[in-house]
Amino acid sequence: MEAKAAMKLTAEGGVEVHTIQVDEPGPGEVRVQLHACGLCHTDQSVLEGSLMFGGPIVLGHEGAGIVESVGPDVKDLQPGDHVVMTCTAFCGRCKWCVEGQYSQCADMPLNAARNGIIRTPFHLGDADLSAFASVGCLTEYTVVQERSAIKIPDDIPLPEAALLGCGVFTGVGAVWNKAKVNPGSTVAVWGAGGVGLNVIQGCAISGARTIICIDRVGEKAEFAKEFGATHSIDGSNADAVATVLELTDGIGVDYSFEAIGNAGAMSEAYTAIRQGGICTVVGVAPFTEILELPAGLIAIQEKTLQGTFYGGGAALRDYPRLIDLYKQGRLKLNPLITTTYSIEDSDKAYADMAAGRQAGRGVVLFQN
């Protein structure tokens, strides 16, 4: 079938929108009609070249929609089911899964390229296109493995639901699954973008008493207060570490998070934790960046520096928890949507994100 989609066709090229052909779902696959797709910095990293370009690709990985058709051997989904995509659909059987480290699953569709199998469900003329993060959601229709599409209740608006697929899952998941923030603790979060705001609301849900947000755009840091930040720091004109120390009686925070993907910010986030504190890196920096730290302090001050990928969680378990919190009004989704776009305006949507013009997320809505 035909679908309008946003794609990157060459290493040097930018976003292009074309009408493509989308395959029928194969064994174990479903074809999904997308209703919304949030835009994430990871797509931007592919566009800018800081993440490797592996060939023509349909962009987008934060999508929600309705199952249009199912292939042979699909067990749990049927046409009409509302679904949110997940980039880390895990197998449940490999050595990482049995240790509960689902986002490192050796057999996740995201690792298909590493396993030598690249599924290309999209076609434009002679070009076969793969799906970004094995979901490829910036298209009217996509084809994914059944386990990459998580069924959700029909009464959640699909644009809000789409945000669960990356920003919310990554941000709240980092708090729940990796840092395990204790009630009453103090936290500092570098970055008030689509992930950082969700780290902040995750910390608020977990009962942190002080949540300091640092962003180089002062209004964004201030906007974080809507999601539970208690203090904001404009990183462009303040010494962030010194201000965090001032706000915590000179000892530093119990937990810090870096949600930008910048080595300088990671260094600040590490410096700002107290002795025995935990610094969790959520942002993905360009692979060429090197992080420098005062090596002597790691042992002496018993500081922990850890990374987490995509929230480190299990979508099958965590999406229903997030949906419950949303229904109770404790997890904010609608205020995360700053601007909506049509698929034809994908180029403008990415340009707005690159220029930092969105306080939360830009979301592409499909006309269906």
Residues near Zn ion (CB under 5 A) are 40, 42, 90-91, 94, 97, 105, 107, 166
Token pair for 202: 């995750």
Q: Residue length, the chain?
A: 368
Q: Which residue, 169 or 255, has its beta carbon nearer to Zn ion? A: 169
CA–CA separation, 366 and 368 (whole Å):
6
Question: How far out from the chain centre does Cα 290 lie?
Answer: 22
Q: Which residue, 90 or 255, has its beta carbon nearer to Zn ion? A: 90
Q: Closest separation between CB of residue 85 and Zn ion, Å?
A: 11
Q: Which residue, 158 or 166, has its beta carbon nearer to Zn ion? A: 166
Q: Closest separation between CB of residue 38 and Zn ion, Å?
A: 8
Closest by CA position to 2, among listed 36, 35, 27, 33: 33
Closest by CA position to 74, among listed 137, 154, 152, 144: 144
Q: Which residue, 40 or 168, has its beta carbon nearer to Zn ion? A: 40
Q: Closest separation between CB of residue 361 and Zn ion, Å?
A: 10
Contacts of 160 (CB under 8 A, 6+ apart): 326, 333, 334, 337
Q: Which residue, 202 or 252, has its beta carbon nearer to Zn ion? A: 202
C-alpha triplet 43, 306, 223: angle, nearest 5°:
55
Q: Closest separation between CB of residue 39 and Zn ion, Å?
A: 9
5 phi/psi in degrees, rounded to 5: -145, 155
Q: Closest separation between CB of residue 73 and Zn ion, Å?
A: 19
